[in-house]
Amino acid sequence: MSSKLTTKINNIILKNPITIASGPFVNGEYLDTIHDLDILGAITTKTVTYKPRKGNPSPRVAEIKDGYINSVGLRNAGIKRFIEMKLPFVEEMNVPTFVSIAGESMEEYIEMVEMLNPIEFITAIELNISCPNVHNKSIMFESDAEGIKILLTKIKEVSKKPILVKISNNNADILKTARICKEVGVDAIVLLNSPAGMRLDLHTGQSVLTRQYGGMSGKPLKHIALKIVNEISHEVDIPIIGVGGIFNNDDAIEMLLAGACAVGIGSAIMYDPLAAYKMAINFEKDLKRYNFESVEQLVESVRKTRNWNNK
């Protein structure tokens, strides 16, 4: 793959800006049977918690126009089983790997980071502090600005890996959260975790999900994510991985123009398991259609329009 597609997330160098976001990857067993994942810039594992979680009762996923609304509730087998049973498979893929974690307490976050520290092939750790689909609000640290600052400071002290923080616009001042991430030395932020939404059954007037609300994903999310990525990139000098409604390379390039340095593909994979693969192999050609010779040229041209010194 051409070096013209290389991008940087702080000190992390990716061969291209196309990554798989946390969620659809399901730790790779299915996608790897369809195509080689090592062509991608990076993959992000499905979020894992310290203890096993059964998740929310069914129904927990429903289609909306051009997307999904889900309330899975971080269903997973827990980090110990994840390390024993899932990570060896992920390692075989030979692609930069971001492991997504969510804790119910600061102690759980720190213990998970310490458990992941010795695993050499893990590129970075993503902190999912903003999942909209859990009943236990202690998992959603972003609603407490002081709490997140303490949490991130502690994690930066113990982590031997770069730290990414996934945040949303559901419960907090997202700009304040981004500024805290910059202040404590987080390596990048991931925007945007699923905004909360709802779909009703027209016959019953009740939510189609067992839980009333769920996280929205798919094409409707793109323009919300673009706005927030653009706003944050003007205010805070921190690398951004743009996530939300990216279905093709035009969407990806638009997200880079908004201020991201890489993108995460989610719902598109649910419609076409080859979506991220197709985007990666065609990205250089599609980039040239907009008169950019490299990803670096595009990203740097956007950075030159920012004026962080006056913030």
> What residue segments make up the domains of the chain, in order of their start?
3-56+75-199+217-306
Residue numbers belonging to the annotated binding site for FMN: 22, 46-47, 128, 166, 218, 244-245, 266-267
Q: What is the mean pLDDT of residues 99-112?
A: 94
In this predicted model, what pLDDT tens digit does every residue of 12-39 receive, in sequence order?
999 999 999 997 655 555 566 666 788 9
131 a catalytic residue? yes
Does domain 3-56+75-199+217-306 sit in CATH 3.90.1150.10? no
Q: Is the pTM of this model over 0.85?
A: yes
Positions at the binding site: 22, 46-47, 70-74, 128, 166, 193-194, 218, 244-245, 266-267
Cβ neighbours of residue 217 under 8 Å, at least 6 residues apart? Answer: 23, 67, 68, 69, 70, 194, 244, 245, 266, 267
**What are the binding residues for substrate?**
46, 70-74, 128, 193-194
- Per the residue annotation, which of 9, 31, 116, 131 is the catalytic one? 131
Backbone φ and ψ of 93, nearest 5°:
-75, -20
Highest mean pLDDT among 70-74, 75-79, 257-261: 257-261
| Mean pLDDT value across residues 236-247 | 97
CA distances from 239 to 53, 56, 191, 231, 234 (A): 31, 33, 10, 13, 12
